[in-house]
Structure 1
Amino acid sequence: MIKLRVRRYFFGSTGVIGGCTFVAATIFLLYFKNPTVQRNSNSGFPCNFSTYCPAILNGEKEGYQLGDDCERQWKPEPLHIRDLDNCSKIIREHHFITSSLSQEEASHPLAYIITIHKEFEMFVKLLRAIYNPQNVYCIHVDQKSSEDYKRKVKSLTDCFKNIFIASKLEHVIYGGFSRLQADINCMKDLVKLEHDWMYVINLCGQDFPIKTNREIIWHIKRKWDGKNITPGTQQPQNMKYRTQYSYKEWVNNGNGYIYRLNQKKSEPPLQLAIYFGTAYYTLTKKFVQFVLEDVRAKALLEWSRDTYSPDEHYWVTLNHLDDAPGRTPNVSWEGNIRAVKWAPFAGPSLDDCYGHFAHDICVYGLRDLKWITTQPDMFANKFEVSTAPLTIKCMEHWHRNRVLNQTSATIQPHWYLED
């Protein structure tokens, strides 16, 4: 067997790369302790969030300097748990939106699939940013996550009727079939719900929205109403190794790997033409039902089990079938699903990364925020609380302010985020 060094490549424009059972359990109160404000010993000023964030978003040099100083000084305490049966307090203290913000949003419910495995604090920030009571959320928690992490996720999701953990969990390996299977598992749960969601959007734990819920609906309705968004193109020659050879997932001491076997695969089933696209999508409910029921979709799923990164060919290939509901065969890399900065050798990014790279993708820093907030995409990837806590803090305040400025509902005091 040949061990594969994982590397992702990008082609195109700015796109990347059931009923539910609720188990009774002890409810835990989750809370963030307010960080202790420290003073910069050199300049004598406090780390004032309301000062540095607007300046950074405006691209001001002084704002960057202030933000960098604060980033070095600010030591946020981790998320703690106390044994208290008080979901209303959890919802209030974590600033979740508790009513539909407009009639338009209430009449266009969305479904989300969120795959997570680390950084519970980041998951809470993402979830509350996209949470609306008319939507529904399937959370796939990686099997390799710690029991403490799984317990925290369950203690939070049990407080919401429209959030649930997937009924079947996978040990997800980067680039493996398990990542695709995780989404399929959530889709099977979502279609069984008595909930009239219209589109499903998939996220990972390091995503964060650029658009508000209302703006996401506008984005879909303006060009994609009744259509699927699966950016991609016909499989290029230098990507065919992913489907020409068999690959195998392997777990050792909790770490997952994918290997290429010295074994060529058979041709795609039913003479299907294979496409290459992103792992991210926005799909209609009818298309999801089609994926779970159609003979060709099932055959392609089985054939894809030993391919490399099958989530980057599966959705876009099925969306090109002539009778697929909501098919969009001629859109190439259009869709504006993800804003991503790629490593220079992996993609066409023209902007620098001011954080660091992971899997050839920029994990954003403070100086990336101005670029992010000017992008037309629905979401940005990647963010990391452990390495850049103030970057995501600034981002979430910018986003929540946009949400509240657009609402026609009566704003509740706890919807405002704390400085």
Structure 2
Amino acid sequence: MSILGCTKSGFMLCIGICLVLVALNNISQPEERTSILSEIKECGYYPGELCKALFEGKSAALVVANVCQEALTPSKKPAPNILEPKTNCSTLIKELHLITKPLSEEEAGYPLAFIMTIHKNLEMFLKLLTAIYAPQNIYCIHIDQKSPNAFSQAVQRVAHCLPNIFISAKQETVVYAGISRLQADLNCMEDLVRSDAPWSHVINLCGQDFPIRTNREIIRYLKSKWNRKNLTPGVIQPDHMKYRTQVSYKEFVHKGTSYVYPTKEEKGGPPYNITLYFGTAYYALTRDFVQFVLTDEQAKDLLEWSKDTYSPDEHYWVTLNRIQGAPGSTPEAGWEGNIRAIKWRDQEGKSHSGCNGHYVRDICVYGLGDLQWLTDSPHLYANKFDPHRYPLVTDCLERQFRQKVLNGAEVPIEQDWYFPDEYTLKTDL
């Protein structure tokens, strides 16, 4: 029997592994360290109990998970050869555990469209796609032109294998807070309205998102509270945000560096003396509204005026959706709509108690201590995640999410839709 008594006893076994890992830090003799590592590598553990304890906010689980996190890797992580050109599509679909049938009549009768704007982190993209994929939906993927070739090619192979996934016909070099980010969505919208798929709402996602609600829950939310309406949380542009539209901004892109910078040129007011709003860049829009955005002169003129503003996607969608008479508009709405769970730095002590991971551009990249907060959130999706920095966060989330999806299925569940139970330890400790 090994030093850990490798009996697959769940949570207690993980504690044993982690104690040994801690002990390794105090071992100076290379041969002794190698001996212990060889014992650890023979052991696996089942993470269900650990994840459950993390979602319940148990402090002991958090201590254990933080110690274990760097030593663990999921055995279900796609093998490198899955995305090689020689890999056939049936293998890829099986190994990604994609759900290949509508799970209910309700979902089959209410197809959704998704816009996914991505630029890196293939592992997170695959986790997100696996979570939201359903055969009745349609997915437009916009790949940033700055993306590495290997990343772009891998995403294209996935799209090639699935008839309801396609790459945007026109791709932008996306600059954070620039017009190119908004244009990427518009490019996909043009492709989506030309498709024959009978989608009802379009939802936009980025590569560091993950769903909190299932496809069926999202449909019910849209059908009940936002029936034939657009979901664009926001308010009249506050004074402290007016700097974004008072002067002209330009995008700078050169040799891997990109940013938006202000000029000294003052801007005039928006066309038609339209009231500007400020809100989230994320939305759920009806097909009729998307058609309006692409064809209406007012929408086109606002887009032209917005091209040299700062982060125009945070005023464009919500402003158009507040216009009386626009399809599905919600002129009286404010911050209503549970689109994204985000921990903003300036909201500490107000909407959340702090970030347990770290902040990037004042947005929390979730750590293990954030799992309970995410579970309790009423939102449809959450942002941001990094499976390389906090692997157990996304691993626990996707396992819990898949079980929730399958528990609600009204069709026979295929074995390939389940994730493997067992995790294994990395070999390069």
Give the TM-score, by structure 2 length. Answer: 0.86
In the alignment, residue 39 of structure 1 is paired with which amino acid?
A: I
Q: Work out whether residues 69 and 390 of structure 2, in 8 Å CA contact, stay in contact via their aligned partners in 1.
A: yes
How far is 1:74 from its partner?
2.0
Q: Identify the residue that residue 272 of structure 2 maps to in structure 1.
A: 270
Deviations 1:224-270 (A, max 9, x none): 01000000010111111111110000012111111100010121112
Q: Identify the residue that residue 64 of structure 1 maps to in structure 2.
A: 62
Structure 2: how far apart are the matches of 1:378 and 1:353? Answer: 19
Q: Identify the residue that residue 115 of structure 1 maps to in structure 2.
A: 117
Structure 2: how far apart are the matches of 1:342 and 1:417? Answer: 32
Question: Aligned runs of 1:154-233 on 2, under 5 Å?
Answer: 154-233=156-235
Structure 2: how far apart are the matches of 1:105 and 1:312? Answer: 30
Q: Identify the residue that residue 405 of structure 1 maps to in structure 2.
A: 407
Q: Identify the residue that residue 342 of structure 1 maps to in structure 2.
A: 344
Q: Pick the structure with more helix per residue.
A: 2
Question: Aligned runs of 1:313-332 on 2, under 5 Å?
Answer: 313-332=315-334
Q: Identify the residue that residue 138 of structure 2 maps to in structure 1.
A: 136
**Of the candidates 390, 393, 410, which is equivalent to residue 391 of structure 1?**
393
Gaps of 5+ in 2: 1-13, 24-39, 422-429
Secondary structure of residue in 2 paired with 1:391 = helix
Q: Identify the residue that residue 49 of structure 1 maps to in structure 2.
A: 47
Deviations 1:20-71 (A, max 9, x none): xxxxxxxxxxxxxxxxx99331488965412311111111122112211221
Structure 1: how far apart are the matches of 2:294 and 2:244? Answer: 23
Gaps of 5+ in 1: 1-36
Q: Work out whether residues 348 and 354 of structure 2, in 8 Å CA contact, stay in contact via their aligned partners in 1.
A: no
Aligned residues: 383
Give the TM-score, by structure 1 length. Answer: 0.88
**Of the candidates 100, 103, 107, which is equivalent to residue 102 of structure 2?**
100
**Of the candidates 17, 25, 50, which is equivalent to residue 39 of structure 1?**
17
Deviates more, 1:58-67 or 1:73-82: 73-82
* CA distance 1:347–1:225, shift in 2 (3 Å): farther
Structure 2: how far apart are the matches of 1:186 and 1:247? Answer: 24
In the alignment, residue 195 of structure 2 is paired with which amino acid?
A: L
Structure 1: how far apart are the matches of 2:318 and 2:263? Answer: 25
Task: Give percent identity, aligned residues only.
Answer: 52
In the alignment, residue 107 of structure 1 is paired with which amino acid?
A: G
Structure 2: how far apart are the matches of 1:292 and 1:264? Answer: 27
Q: Identify the residue that residue 370 of structure 2 maps to in structure 1.
A: 368
Secondary structure of residue in 2 paired with 1:357 = strand
How far is 1:348 from its partner?
4.4
Q: Identify the residue that residue 15 of structure 1 maps to in structure 2.
A: none
**Of the candidates 126, 129, 142, which is equivalent to residue 128 of structure 2?**
126
In the alignment, residue 151 of structure 1 is paired with which amino acid?
A: Q
Q: Identify the residue that residue 153 of structure 2 maps to in structure 1.
A: 151
Structure 1: how far apart are the matches of 2:304 and 2:45? Answer: 54
Cα RMSD over matched residues? 1.8
In the alignment, residue 255 of structure 1 is paired with which amino acid?
A: T
Structure 1: how far apart are the matches of 2:146 and 2:85? Answer: 25
How far is 1:350 from its partner?
2.7
Structure 1: how far apart are the matches of 2:230 and 2:146? Answer: 32
* CA distance 1:183–1:324, shift in 2 (3 Å): same
Q: Work out whether residues 85 and 157 of structure 2, in 8 Å CA contact, stay in contact via their aligned partners in 1.
A: no
* CA distance 1:257–1:100, shift in 2 (3 Å): same
Secondary structure of residue in 2 paired with 1:302 = helix
Structure 1: how far apart are the matches of 2:143 and 2:222? Answer: 28
Q: Work out whether residues 78 and 96 of structure 2, in 8 Å CA contact, stay in contact via their aligned partners in 1.
A: no
* CA distance 1:381–1:98, shift in 2 (3 Å): same
Q: Identify the residue that residue 29 of structure 2 maps to in structure 1.
A: none
How far is 1:323 from its partner?
1.3
Structure 1: how far apart are the matches of 2:249 and 2:206? Answer: 23
Structure 1: how far apart are the matches of 2:155 and 2:376? Answer: 32
* CA distance 1:132–1:247, shift in 2 (3 Å): same
In the alignment, residue 64 of structure 1 is paired with which amino acid?
A: L
Structure 1: how far apart are the matches of 2:239 and 2:45? Answer: 52
How far is 1:78 from its partner?
8.1
Please tell me whether Structure 1 or Structure 2 has the larger radius of gyration of its CA atoms. 2
Q: Work out whether residues 167 and 185 of structure 1, in 8 Å CA contact, stay in contact via their aligned partners in 2.
A: yes
Secondary structure of residue in 2 paired with 1:39 = helix
